[in-house]
Amino acid sequence: MIKAMVVDDETLTNDHICELIRYTGAEVEGYTNPHEALDNIMRFKPDVLFLDIEMPEINGLQFAEIVNSIEYECEIVFITAYNQYALNAFRVNAIDYLLKPIIVEELYSSIERVKKRRFLNSNVCPNKKIKISLFGGVSIYIGDEKKPIRWMTAKSAEIFAFMLLGKDNKEISKWRLMNEVWPDKDKEKADINLRSTISRLNKTFRENSIKISIISTGNGYKLQIAEPDIRIDAFELENLVFNITEINASNLEEYESIILDYKYMLLEDFNSDWCYFERESYHRYFLNGARKLVKYYKDINAESIKILRLVELIIKYEPYDEEMRENALMLHYKIGGIKKAEKYYSEYYEMMENDLQMEPSAAVKELYKYILNH
């Protein structure tokens, strides 16, 4: 069964065309408001759009151009009372052009053409895996490629990350985008930069055949993702912390793969103010998950070297974490004996004095004294 979307501002005509299409067994949705239709494209995922050319605000040709710009792949059939638009219609890759009043046989012929094209496309366009990494920089990997796609500019990557972290495909006002990404530019220059950056982003996605796009909503922009198989490492970390309340043998492998893969903080390569807030939020997710994993390792008496690797990963980012320092001191003792523990404690003591003009906590001192006496 194919899906059809009818966009025509005349209610009676819209209802009539929808009814005719339903007779073919197709699923159909009709919209008299083109803005509402655009908002529902990614939800409904039509195979074909039937567009009235003469609509106020957004005409059918403009609607088709917007759909092409967001890289949503579907067939387009134009409907109009005049034949003067035929040439322009086929410039936006329409497969048919129907004149009002609609001749039923011509409409059904268009639908059959859509069915044939969609069947052929479904057999030659396999889905590919997309991985998006936000830790360190912003990287997109396609399939088994080892190298990420190349961004045209650093701001392109930053805008994409900002919109991706907004989540839920919500509209983000252009003023907010300009203020967050170009806070030092005047409005006119920031607006020019924003529009050119969005254009470059969409060009990058098109050139790499990635079904991601940013569409204009008039007062802002929306991120549209149509890729069916996509992984985003930051969201995997967030979901892990919130959805896995207890680590066990069945989820341990997933938990380890995400926590132990934390080599860089979120958007570490960027220094815009908005990045700091997001970076701290996701770093807290990591610390939460990593501490939970340390506790699990200790509870099951995992190998000391395995626990130490994780503890040192936490200390890399939190060098003054007294609890982790206690863990590390005891683990060094278990692995290398008193000499290893003495060396570790001495280095830690020196760091505390130099960095904070403080000594290790009473708990760390007590543990060190305990080790020396055993």
Q: pLDDT at residue 210 above 80?
A: yes
Average per-residue pLDDT for the chain: 90
Confidence tier at 177 by pLDDT (50, 70, 90): very high
Six-digit token pair at 249?
């043998």
Which candidate, 49, 41, 34, places its Cα nearest to that of 211? 41
Pairing state between β 27-31 and 48-52 = unpaired
CATH no. for residue 202?
1.10.10.10
Does residue 128 surpass a pLDDT of 90? Answer: no
Residue 124 has pLDDT above 50, yes or no: no
Residue type, 12: L
Mark whether 135 and 247 lie in a shared domain: no
Same domain, 262 and 322: yes
- Do 151 and 260 lie in one domain? The reply is no
Mean pLDDT throughout 64-75?
A: 82
C-alpha to C-alpha distances, 58 to 51, 64, 214, 353, 356, nearest whole angstrom: 11, 10, 18, 67, 63
Residue 114 pLDDT more than 90? no
Choosing from 195, 230, 265, the residue where a domain stops is 230
pLDDT, tens digit (0-9, with 9 covering 90-100), for 335-356: 999 999 999 999 999 999 999 9
Boundary-marking domain end, from 185, 210, 230? 230
- pLDDT tens digits for range 232-251: 999 999 999 999 989 999 99
Residue 230 pLDDT greater than 90, yes or no: yes
Q: How far apart are the first and last CA of the chain?
A: 75
Q: Give how far Cα 155 sits from Cα of 163, 181, 274, Å.
A: 12, 8, 13
Residue 84 — pLDDT band, cuts 50, 70, 90?
low
Is 341 within 8 Å of 329 (Cβ atoms)?
A: yes
Q: What per-residue confidence (pLDDT) applies to 144? A: 87
| Same domain? 361 vs 272 | yes
Q: How high is the pLDDT of residue 3?
A: 94
Per-residue pLDDT band at 87 (split at 50, 70, 90): very low
Residue 233 confidence (pLDDT) = 96
> Do 67 and 83 fall within a single domain?
yes
Indicate which CATH number applies to the domain containing 24: 3.40.50.2300
Give dist(CA 351, CA 348) in Å, integer: 5
pLDDT at 260 (0 to 100): 95
What value does the mean pLDDT take over residues 192-221? 88
Give the lowest-confidence range in 125-134, 176-185, 246-255: 125-134
What is the per-residue pLDDT for 358?
Answer: 96
How does strand 27-31 pair with strand 3-7?
parallel
Q: Say what the pLDDT of residue 57 is.
A: 85
Mean pLDDT computed over 4-28 = 94
pLDDT of 212 above 50: yes
The answer on 278 and 201 residing in a single domain is no
Residue 176 has which token pair? 């907010």
Dump the DSSP string for 105-148: HHHHHHHHHHHHHHHHHHHH-----EEEE-BSS-EEEETT-SSP
Residue in the block written with tokens 């972290």: 165
Task: State residue 89's pLDDT score.
Answer: 45
Whether residue 116 sits in one domain with residue 88 = yes
Tell me the pLDDT tens digit for each residue of 290-310: 999 999 999 999 999 999 999
Same domain, 41 and 76: yes
Q: What is the pLDDT of residues 312-326, one digit of tens each?
A: 999 999 999 999 999
Are residues 241 and 171 both part of a single domain?
no
Q: Is the pLDDT of residue 136 over 90?
A: yes
Task: Please give the average per-residue pLDDT across 34-44, as a whole number.
Answer: 91
Number of structural domains (the chain) is: 3
Are 365 and 239 in a shared domain?
yes
pLDDT score of 211: 87
pLDDT tens digits, residue range 264-291?
999 999 999 999 999 999 999 999 999 9
pTM above 0.85, yes or no: no
Q: Do 155 and 135 share a structural domain? A: yes
Domain of residue 176, residue span: 130-230
Q: Which of 199, 204, 194, 202 is nearest to 148 (CA)?
A: 204
> What average pLDDT does this structure show over 27-33?
96
pLDDT-derived band at 149, boundaries 50, 70, 90: very high
Q: Where a domain ends, among 124, 155, 182?
A: 124
CATH code of 256's domain: 1.25.40.10
CB atoms inside a 10 Å sphere around CB 280: 11
Per-residue pLDDT at 181: 96
Based on the fold, state whether residues 40 and 81 are members of the same structural domain: yes
